[in-house]
Structure 1
Amino acid sequence: MQIRVMHEGDLPTALRLSQQVKWPHRLEDWQQALKLGAGIVAEEAGQVIGTALGWRWGDDYATLGLVIVDPACQGRGIGKQLLLAVLENLPGYTVRLHATEAGRPLYEKLGFQVTGILQQHQCAALGQIAPEPLTAHPFLSQARPQDAAVLTALDQRAHGQSRPALIAMLLAEAERVVMLKDQHGLPQGFAALRRFGRGLAIGPVIAHDLQQAKVLVSGLLQPLAGEFVRIDSDPSLGLGDWLESQGLPVVDVPTVMIKGTPWIPAAGAPQAFGLMSQALG
């Protein structure tokens, strides 16, 4: 067995591995993930039997995900080798991941610490969603490519990650990206709707408070009756109860784990009410 760099040609096999463990990713989702980050594979007899990817978001923060080992090859330490190979490429970075119960013991051995949980909300066919009332004066508008720098700055203030390539990709490829502006036209937050997995996903959702987050998400949900929709949200921020009231129950609760120094937002900074994805953060 060898550990090597992941290439575009490995993605059809990576897709098969994710299907074996019942993850919803499409080939397009794998392509997007590799385009934004760097991957490692475990290969044996010419066959890819394991994957892991890492994403650098600026000079200090990174995420790690899509760690999969072929079920027929588990129990041989392959996952640990993949993780060590990814972490070797992230020296000095604070690294965040979202762990399954099965993966958590390994991550703890490698120095990751539990910092919270994440709730995965989804429904197979969304019902009718009523618009959330806007607070005094703000308004929603469609984000455009020229808004990339502003959205990147809001995104970074929320969790410390500098993700200009991700924001540019969303503005170019997402179904919709909406901004919430105040009475002076200054952006207060944004949210994106994109194709992912079994249907549509909303995230990131960046806002200064819970009501702003509800306005952004409801603005994206209203035209989606009958669609499969997913949102990954930190329950400590309070959006989860509202999502459940809109017909988006919790279907999974992975553990948030960090190796390094967790990001502490400045007073008055926006917060990440919804993630891009569990892998990308």
Structure 2
Amino acid sequence: MKPVAPSALPVRRLGLADLPHCLDLAQDRSWPREERKWRLLLENGEGFGIDAPDGGGLAGTVVLTRYGRTAAAVGMMLVASRHGGRGLGRRLLEHVLAEAGDATLFLCATEYGRPLYEKLGFETVGVIEARVGHFDAGDDPYGAGPGRDASRLAEPGRDLAALCALDIEVFGADRSRLLTRLFAFAEQVRVVERDGEITGYGAAWRSAGRLFVGPVVAEDDETARALITDLARDADTRIRIDLDHRRRELVSWIAGRGVPQSSTTSFMVHGGRALPGDRSRLVASFMSALG
């Protein structure tokens, strides 16, 4: 039978009914079967897929997560191993580019995927280090003390509006829908206050047997260390945190706490656009698929 051309394969919206097929596709590409993560992405974003022409589930997926009309993240770009090299990844990405409209698109790319993204107009603007290990809070952990701002557990009714206001300054885009979900998704959300105003926040959530620390937003490294320490100090498993490699003091600090580099990805933006907001205060992303 003659193979069907990629351009002839329809791209369709994915829903929660497709979750088992998404997990199978992830496993096929040696990714963990992260049901909670996929569920969040499919409920909060727009999943797109191509059905396998041989009837074997999904041939490829991608998820577009919009932040208002300003920016959007691209993630979970996967093509089944048996359908690789046929242009399905390009087909999916071109579909997302058309769907995104005028939004500034960004993504995290592996070395395997980066050439395709470059061909379609994405440019590397940074490098993200994924760090994985058992966090050691040490004998003198960051937290309450002279000259330090202690973090506390956030409360949705009390803190959500202020947290969203801080986040929109950092991202330059409205992520309130995602942050509202964060309180139910995460094990804990913590904030740091100074003079009655929230100056930083962070969250920790579980997937695939790891505790992910992110997002973390902070006005300085000391606030970031306090948040990370309080989020990770009691972890009963390895943590993962994704840091911009240019934050050398934080990278060195967390390496000294027993969390070495696991992998790196290229942070890419489409069309040479400047990202909105003040990302100097973005310490760690929520996850690579969300930024």
Pairwise same-fold verdict (TM > 0.5): yes
Which residue number in structure 2 is paired with residue 117 of structure 1? 127
The code of the aligned residue for 1:39 comes to: G
Q: CA deviation at 1:234?
A: 0.7
Q: 2:15 aligns with which of 7, 13, 19?
A: 7
Q: CA deviation at 1:231?
A: 0.4
Output one character per residue of 1:6-55: Cα deviation in whole Å (capped at 9) or x when no partner. Answer: 12111111111111222234112111111110011011243311100101
Closer/same/farther in 2, CA of residues 265 and 135 from structure 1, 3 Å limit: farther
- Contact 1:189–1:270 at 8 Å: present in 2 too? no
Answer yes or no: is 1:78 the counterpart of 2:56. no
Hey, what's the Cα distance between the residues in 1 that align with 2:179 and 2:73? 16
Q: 1:200 aligns with which of 211, 224, 233?
A: 211
Q: CA deviation at 1:139?
A: 2.6
The code of the aligned residue for 2:220 comes to: D
Q: CA deviation at 1:270?
A: 6.2
Output one character per residue of 1:237-269: Cα deviation in whole Å (capped at 9) or x when no partner. Answer: 232111111111111010011014222645xx8
Which residue number in structure 2 is paired with residue 24 of structure 1? 32
Hey, what's the Cα distance between the residues in 1 that align with 2:11 and 2:33? 23
Hey, what's the Cα distance between the residues in 2 that align with 1:161 and 1:97? 15
Output one character per residue of 1:85-122: Cα deviation in whole Å (capped at 9) or x when no partner. Answer: 11111011110100011111110111101101000001
Q: CA deviation at 1:223?
A: 1.2
Which residue number in structure 2 is paired with residue 158 of structure 1? 170
Q: How many residues align?
A: 276
- Contact 1:145–1:172 at 8 Å: present in 2 too? no
Hey, what's the Cα distance between the residues in 2 that align with 1:203 and 1:93? 24
The code of the aligned residue for 1:20 comes to: D
Q: 136-145 or 108-117, which moves further after superposition? A: 136-145
Hey, what's the Cα distance between the residues in 2 that align with 1:169 and 1:220? 18
Which residue number in structure 1 is paired with residue 290 of structure 2? 280
The code of the aligned residue for 1:174 comes to: A
| Identity rate, percent | 32
Q: 56-65 or 125-134, which moves further after superposition? A: 125-134
Answer yes or no: is 1:215 the counterpart of 2:226. yes
User: Structure 1: 5+ residue runs without aligned partners?
Assistant: none
- Contact 1:209–1:270 at 8 Å: present in 2 too? no
- Contact 1:154–1:270 at 8 Å: present in 2 too? no
Q: 2:258 aligns with which of 247, 262, 271?
A: 247
Q: CA deviation at 1:170?
A: 1.2
Closer/same/farther in 2, CA of residues 90 and 179 from structure 1, 3 Å limit: same
Hey, what's the Cα distance between the residues in 1 that align with 2:54 and 2:41? 26
Hey, what's the Cα distance between the residues in 2 that align with 1:111 and 1:4? 23
Hey, what's the Cα distance between the residues in 1 that align with 2:86 and 2:163? 43
Hey, what's the Cα distance between the residues in 1 that align with 2:227 and 2:196? 16
Q: 1:35 aligns with which of 26, 43, 46?
A: 43
Structure 1 vs Structure 2 CA RMSD? 1.7
Hey, what's the Cα distance between the residues in 2 that align with 1:237 and 1:197? 27
- Contact 1:39–1:86 at 8 Å: present in 2 too? no
Answer yes or no: is 1:271 the counterpart of 2:255. no
- SS of the residue corresponding to residue 18 of structure 2 reads helix
Which residue number in structure 1 is paired with residue 150 of structure 2? 139
Q: 2:274 aligns with which of 247, 259, 262?
A: 262
Closer/same/farther in 2, CA of residues 192 and 25 from structure 1, 3 Å limit: farther
Closer/same/farther in 2, CA of residues 89 and 23 from structure 1, 3 Å limit: same
Hey, what's the Cα distance between the residues in 1 that align with 2:10 and 2:202? 40
- Contact 1:25–1:196 at 8 Å: present in 2 too? no
Q: CA deviation at 1:279?
A: 0.4
User: Structure 2: 5+ residue runs without aligned partners?
Assistant: 1-8
- Contact 2:142–2:226 at 8 Å: present in 1 too? yes
The code of the aligned residue for 2:169 comes to: R
